[in-house]
Amino acid sequence: MEQRAVLVTGGCGFIGSHFVRYLLRERSWRVVNLDKLTYAADLARLSDVTSDPRYQFVRGDVTDAELVGELFRRERPWAVINFAAESHVDRSILDPAPFLETNVRGVYTLLEAARRHQVERFLQVSTDEVYGDVEGLPPRVEEDPLQPSSPYAASKASADLLCLAYRRTYGLPTLIARSSNNYGPYQHPEKLIPLAIRNLLKGDAVPVYGDGRQVRDWLFVEDNCRALLEVLERGRVGGVYNVATGVRTSNLELLRRICMVLAEELAADPNSFLSRMEFVRDRPGHDRAYAVSVERIRNELGWRPSVDLQEGLRRTVRWFIGNRAWLERTADDSYRAYYEAVYVQQWGMP
């Protein structure tokens, strides 16, 4: 009997690639990965699974209704897990257009196809950023209002609303997972943790936005993948689930820990890293804090994170030390142009 297929979009990105690998290991399903291969994608992230006969890569855009429709007709996926997105806040400040295209119109295109082909589950991979800045507020629960701050967060909140509307209006079995900041191997060096590790390894300064006291909840990517599969299979249809560790860390404390782990791994003096923090102009509209309640996913699905920040940072730092070639290849000319546009021209770094 032919295996059932799932459609994963954005599977060549950071989280999507970890999820594809996890799915192929944990389930017998076929996995169809639809990815446009933007600057954020890398086929090398999945080089170890390309020979698996259950894995299929399709290059294409989630906003392309014809291609998406054809894929649904051909593969008849029972479930969709949508990772495809423009994912970086600073880029959304430079140019919101692709964020609206992929994160809103792309989700609409997928929802339309899913409704026509009657999928059993549509899991939208969302973010805790949709709740906006929660400094001084209790952790957000899933029913709290959406108050996104950046164009990125606004596009993700719009997608969440579309999913909820399709559930209510058309009865489409949507689910939404809102996770906190992921980190781990293969993350693109535009994001804080790999950016800091790369700059420290190169002997460069690490740009700290504003006062560095902003707070985030850092989630090891493999823990998120486990949560996403739980939500996909056992989540209540129509349900929204926050995914996070419940442990909040300021950016300065996070960077201090990265310096300590790097120093330990390289048998170096921690001060040679700690002295490289450089305070730069703040990100416009920067959210001071994200914090979400994880009661629901704990109580309903029994999910708990298994990798704490110290262990996750150690695994991440080790991976980047062992994969400096990947890091440098990813930080290509277009990355350098982006870095220049953000850090030198906008944020005022020397």
Interface stretch with ligand NAD, choices 57-65, 232-240, 257-265, 313-321 (CB under 6 A)? 57-65
DSSP state of 292: B
Interface stretch with ligand NAD, choices 80-88, 139-147, 274-282, 286-294 (CB under 6 A)? 80-88
Asked if 316 interacts with ligand DAU (CB under 6 A), we say no
Asked if 327 interacts with ligand DAU (CB under 6 A), we say no
Residue 287 appears among annotated catalytic residues: no
Asked if 129 interacts with ligand DAU (CB under 6 A), we say yes
Among ligand DAU, ligand NAD, none, residue 9 binds (CB under 5-8 Å by kind) = ligand NAD
Are 247 and 312 within 8 A, CB to CB?
Answer: no
Cα 188 to Cα 41: distance, rounded to the nearest angstrom: 9
Interface stretch with ligand DAU, choices 66-74, 127-135, 259-267, 292-300 (CB under 6 A)? 127-135
Residue with tokens 């790369």: 198
Per-residue buried b or exposed e for 274-295, using 16+ beta carbons within 10 Å of the residue's own CB = bebbeebeebeeebebbbbbbe
Taking the CA atoms of residue 10, residue 13, residue 19 and residue 23 in that order, the dihedral angle to the nearest 10 degrees is 60
Cα 15 to Cα 84: distance, rounded to the nearest angstrom: 10
Interface stretch with ligand NAD, choices 10-18, 198-206, 263-271, 325-333 (CB under 6 A)? 10-18
User: Hey, how many other C-beta atoms are within 10 angstroms of the C-beta on 25?
Assistant: 9
Query: What's the one-letter identity of residue 102?
Result: T
Q: Using the rule CB under 6 A, which residue among 109, 127, 174, 330 binds ligand NAD?
A: 127
Asked if 214 interacts with ligand DAU (CB under 6 A), we say yes
Q: Residue count at the site for ligand DAU (CB under 6 A)? A: 19
Residue numbers 219-258 binding ligand DAU by CB under 6 A: 251
Among ligand NAD, ligand DAU, none, residue 84 binds (CB under 5-8 Å by kind) = ligand NAD
Residue 211 appears among annotated catalytic residues: no
Asked if 178 interacts with ligand DAU (CB under 6 A), we say no
Helix (H), strand (E) at residue 323: none
Q: Which residues pair with 5 in a beta bridge?
A: 30
Distance of CA 242 to the CA centre of its chain: 14
| Six token digits for residue 215 | 């707070």
φ, ψ for residue 250, nearest 5 deg: -75, 160
Asked if 113 interacts with ligand NAD (CB under 6 A), we say no
Residue numbers 282-301 binding ligand DAU by CB under 6 A: 283, 290
Taking the CA atoms of residue 72, residue 241, residue 288 and residue 336 in that order, the dihedral angle to the nearest 10 degrees is -30
Nearest to 90 by CA among 3, 22, 153: 153
Q: How far is the CB of 216 from ligand DAU (least distance, A)?
A: 5
Asked if 106 interacts with ligand NAD (CB under 6 A), we say yes
Asked if 216 interacts with ligand DAU (CB under 6 A), we say yes
Cα 293 to Cα 314: distance, rounded to the nearest angstrom: 26
3-state DSSP assignment of residue 68:
helix
Q: Using the rule CB under 6 A, which residue among 21, 91, 156, 198 binds ligand NAD?
A: 156
User: Hey, how many other C-beta atoms are within 10 angstroms of the C-beta on 170?
Assistant: 13
| Active-site residue (options: 42, 129, 133, 223) | 129
Among ligand NAD, ligand DAU, none, residue 216 binds (CB under 5-8 Å by kind) = ligand DAU
- Contacting residues toward ligand NAD, per CB under 6 A: 9-10, 12-16, 34-38, 40-41, 61-63, 83-85, 87, 102, 106, 125, 127, 156, 179, 181-182, 188
- Contacting residues toward ligand DAU, per CB under 6 A: 87-89, 127-129, 180-181, 191-192, 195, 207-209, 214, 216, 251, 283, 290
Q: Which residues are catalytic?
A: 128-129, 152
